Amino acid sequence: MSDTGRQERGSSQTLKAVLGVRDLVFSGTIAAGERLSEISVSEHLGLSRTPVRAALARLEQEGILEAIPSGGYAVRQFSAADVADAIELRGVLEGTAARLAAERGITPTRLAALHILIEELDKTVSVPVEEMDMDGYMSLNARFHEMLSELSGSKIVQRELERVLQLPFAGPSAFLNAQTSVPAFRASLAFGQVQHRAIAQAIEMREGARAEAVTREHARLARNNFDIVLKDKALMERVPGLVLVAG
């Protein structure tokens, strides 16, 4: 096998290990505070220790695991305040991205793509929640937030946003799929789309302060959704990773 082939296989095995360990943690198979053994994880996933070792180090960088003094890693436990802080930090960074996009301006091609995305989101949320394609909505919603990062034109902002979004609960769609039956959640979808459109308009009009303010306020919807989920154990069980949040 060529050196390139070995590298690709190694990367593939490491990614498989990362996804496997994440699943073990987010499903609650490995409890918060529990020590992770390279050997046991390797046996459980059917992978060699090398990619598992790399996966554990990567997940420690993401903040899902923490190094322990005796060696190795343990599953982190998060507080509700940790989750709120992660959402707040995402809002700050996305607000900065939106302001930079507005102040620096974006190309006509990117503006057209942003308008198309807003229209697709409009169509998705225009139907009753019971008939909504939630997977489709979450995909479009994630794309909107990815586009905000890209439109900033700042590699530093993009990198730091990627880092924050690696936390289990910081993503813009983290709590959406759990709450389709909650009236407050239904209202938040419509309001969130109003904010999407306002952010796009502020960027187009080169209104940096407005773009930043609306984007930061938009992140608060995720915080509100998180508060709703925390009050209902059945909803908590539908959100991957919330088993790590201390009660």
- Parse the chain into domains and list their residue ranges: 3-75, 80-244
pLDDT tens digit sequence for 128-171: 877 888 888 889 999 999 999 999 999 999 999 988 887 767 88
pLDDT tens digit sequence for 83-121: 889 899 999 999 999 999 999 999 999 999 999 999 999
Continuous segment of H or E residues that includes residue 124: helix 108-125
pLDDT at 115: 97
Continuous segment of H or E residues that includes residue 73: strand 73-75
pLDDT at 208: 98
Residue 203 and residue 106 in contact, taking contact as beta carbons nearer than 8 Å = yes
Q: Which CATH superfamily is domain 80-244 in?
A: GntR ligand-binding domain-like (1.20.120.530)
Instruction: Using the predicted structure, report yes or no on whether residue 218 has a pLDDT greater than 50.
Output: yes
Q: Give the confidence band of 238 by pLDDT, cuts at 50, 70, 90.
A: low
- Which has the closest alpha carbon to 228: 171, 190, 178, 193? 178
Q: Hey, which of 14-23, 24-33, 35-44, 201-210 has the most confident mean pLDDT?
A: 201-210
Name residues whose C-beta falls within 8 Å of residue 59's C-beta, 6 or more positions apart in sequence.
18, 21, 22, 25, 65, 73
Report the amino acid identity of residue 196: H
**Chain CA centroid to CA 50, Å:** 27
Instruction: Using the predicted structure, report yes or no on whether residue 237 has a pLDDT greater than 70.
Output: no
Q: Give the confidence band of 176 by pLDDT, cuts at 50, 70, 90.
A: low
What topology does CATH give the domain 3-75?
Arc Repressor Mutant, subunit A (1.10.10)
The angle at the Cα of 136, spanning 112 to 195, to the nearest 5 degrees, equals: 55
Residue 158 and residue 152 in contact, taking contact as beta carbons nearer than 8 Å = yes
Q: Give the confidence band of 27 by pLDDT, cuts at 50, 70, 90.
A: confident
- Rg (Cα) of the chain, in Å, rounded? 20
* DSSP state, residue 245: B
Residue 230 and residue 19 in contact, taking contact as beta carbons nearer than 8 Å = no
pLDDT at 109: 97
pLDDT tens digit sequence for 42-93: 998 999 999 999 999 988 887 789 888 888 899 888 888 888 898 999 999 9
Residue 73's φ and ψ, nearest 5 degrees, are -135, 155
